[in-house]
Amino acid sequence: MRRYFTVFDPRPVGVGSLAIPVSRSREPRPAADQPFLRCHAIAPLVALVVVAVSIGVVVTTSLVAASGDVPDWESSALEFVNGWPDALEPLLWVLQQAGLLVAPIAVGLVIVALTRRWQYLIPFVLVLPLKLGIEKGIVKQLVERERPFVSVGSDVIVRGTAFEGLSFPSGHVTTAFATATLVSAFLPPRWRPLPILWAVVVAVSRLYFGEHNLLDVVAGAGMGIAFAMVLWVGILNRLAETGDASR
């Protein structure tokens, strides 16, 4: 009696005195079964374009701000946001904490806890030396533009403690956009605008608190995105490949 078998049968099939192991082809996991939080690779060309545009934004804003003066259109934007009701202060204060220096590490630890892969913490940690070395150590020293209370005038409502000191670019916004961009690497495409939107709120809050001018936060956003894109391509793309291979 002839016996038939399919390649999907994991059991060996006996033929006489021999046992023939049947190979199994691994089927891709259905989209519905994919975990919500997983590392996605980004096309290097796309990342290169984003980095180039981001650097262009930083260079352009730096050239405008390097004089130390604040153009009328920029001070008008500050005046508009800075004059919003005081009732918004508690909410915006909470939301702007995403720009603190420890925020990338805190977010990275959450990603590690949810994915159980400690390697995902690496790009979040590397945001710190990039931010401190390039944003604070180089760009701030080259541009040297003061906080709004000095560069615009004493009419600015300062709701925080930063009345004076170098303000270009915004460190809070740099950190927030770098963290948000890295978080988006783990989200499905339709959810990726959410962390970026939070970073935008951080940028707006810096104007509301009277601690930064418009170009400060625009440059910070460009710098943060550029940092994150380099880390995404250089680290997360490789981790995404090894992660898919282990599934």
Asked, for residue 134, whether it belongs to a domain, the answer is yes
Token representation of residue 115: 């994915």
Q: Which residues contact 56 (CB under 8 A, 6 or more apart)?
A: 222
Q: What residues pair up with 20 in beta bridges, in sequence order?
A: 13
Indicate whether 22 pLDDT > 50: no
What CATH number corresponds to the domain at position 111?
Answer: 1.20.144
The Cβ of residue 164 has, within 10 Å, a number of other Cβ atoms equal to 12
More confidently predicted of 209 and 18: 209
Whether residue 163 lies inside any domain: the answer is yes
Range of the domain at 194: 38-245
Which of the 8 DSSP states describes residue 131?
I
Identify which of 180, 177, 179, 172 has the alpha carbon closest to the alpha carbon of residue 216. 172
Give the tens place of pLDDT for each residue, 82-131: 999 999 999 999 999 999 999 999 999 999 999 999 999 999 999 999 99
Percent of the chain at pLDDT exceeding 70: 83
* 6 within domain boundaries: no
Mean pLDDT of the chain: 87
Query: Does 8 fall in a domain?
Result: no
Give the DSSP per-residue string, the chain: ------TT--S-EEETTEEEPPP-PPPPPPGGGS-SS------HHHHHHHHHHHHHHHHHHHHHHTTS---HHHHHHHHHHHTS-GGGHHHHHHHGGGGSTTHHHHHHHHHHHHH--GGGHHHHHHHHHHIIIIIIIIIHHHH-PBPHHHHT-TTS---SS-SSSB-SS-HHHHHHHHHHHHHHTTS-GGGTHHHHHHHHHHHHHHHHTTS--HHHHHHHHHHHHHHHHHHIIIIIHHHHHHHHHT-
Q: What pLDDT score was predicted for residue 41?
A: 94
Based on the structure, what is the number of domains in the chain? 1
Residue 11 lies in a domain: no
Helix, strand, coil percent values for the chain (each to nearest 5): 65, 5, 35
| 185, part of any domain | yes
What is the reported pLDDT for 36? Answer: 67
In this prediction, residue 160 carries a pLDDT of 86
What is the distance, to the nearest Å, from the Cα of residue 169 to the centroid of all Cα atoms in its chain?
A: 16
| Residue linked to tokens 């005195």 | 17
Q: 60: pLDDT confidence band, cut at 50, 70 and 90?
A: very high
Between the CA of residue 231 and those of 48, 103, 183, what are the distances in Å? 12, 16, 12
Q: Which band of pLDDT confidence, cut at 50, 70 and 90, is reported for residue 241?
A: confident
pLDDT at 187 over 80: yes
Kindly report, residue by residue over 124-152, the tens digit of the pLDDT. 999 999 999 999 999 999 999 999 999 99
C-alpha distance from residue 194 to each of 183, 189, 191, 200 (Å): 10, 10, 6, 10
220 inside domain: yes
DSSP state, residue 146: B
Strand partners, 13: 20
Report yes or no on 131 lying in a domain: yes
Convert the pLDDT of each residue in 45-59 to its tens digit. Answer: 999 999 999 999 999
- pTM of the shown model: 0.84
- Residue 244: Cβ-neighbour burial (10 angstroms; 0-12, 13-18, 19+): middle
- pLDDT for 35 equals 59
Whether 4 shows a pLDDT value over 80: the answer reads: no
Residue of 179 and 244 predicted with greater confidence: 179
**Whether residue 205 has pLDDT greater than 80:** yes
